[in-house]
Amino acid sequence: MRLIISCILTLLVVTIFLFFQFFPLKYYNTVLNYSGNIDPLLVLSVIKVESSFREGVTSVAGAYGLMQLMPETAEWVNKKFKTNYDYTNPQDNIALGCMYLNYLLERDGDIKTALVHYNTGPYAPDNVKLDAGERYVKKIMRYYKVYKMLYGRGGQLPTTNKGGGL
């Protein structure tokens, strides 16, 4: 009986350890500095989905870095907010991604729409937004739940008054 209990406890500890390894707080301080109105754990969820925390990864579409920014989007954000961040630098990539996501949140009024637009682009056809965008949001929200469970932070999802917010 002791052997069974010991095996179960070992399995539980290993499982918990693996969860923490697969859902790290890597770059947390940078995310905290730039997350603005968005829960930092949600931003970490975006990074997890977009790049799995791989700094120099490039998508087939040309998106780059931790938050998978298109070079044109990074340039637009820099102009819009009068900054000069380098999207190829990991910390700057996070800063630009957070600025863009906060901009979309303000514009769209709720985080789920903002996430769809972050993934598909705000001017993508509706069928792309409904298909790829919705799958993306579901994945982000699943990871966000895991982050909140592991680290016990975060509250309600952000909205603005524009979207009938909280």
Residue 12 inside a domain? The answer is: no
C-alpha to C-alpha distance for 28 and 2, rounded to whole angstroms: 40
Residues 10-50: pLDDT tens digits? 877 767 776 777 888 999 999 999 999 999 999 999 999 99
Q: What is the CATH number of the domain that holds 99?
A: 1.10.530.10
Residue 79 inside a domain? The answer is: yes
Of the candidates 107, 110, 113, which has an alpha carbon nearest to the alpha carbon of residue 136?
113
153 pLDDT band, cuts 50/70/90, is low
Residue 126 inside a domain? The answer is: yes
Residue 3 inside a domain? The answer is: no
Residue 136 inside a domain? The answer is: yes
Tally of domains in the chain: 1
Residue 36 inside a domain? The answer is: yes
Residues 52-61: pLDDT tens digits? 999 999 999 9
Active site residues: 50
Residue 4 inside a domain? The answer is: no
Q: Give the pLDDT score at 6.
A: 77
Range(s) of the domain holding residue 35:
26-160
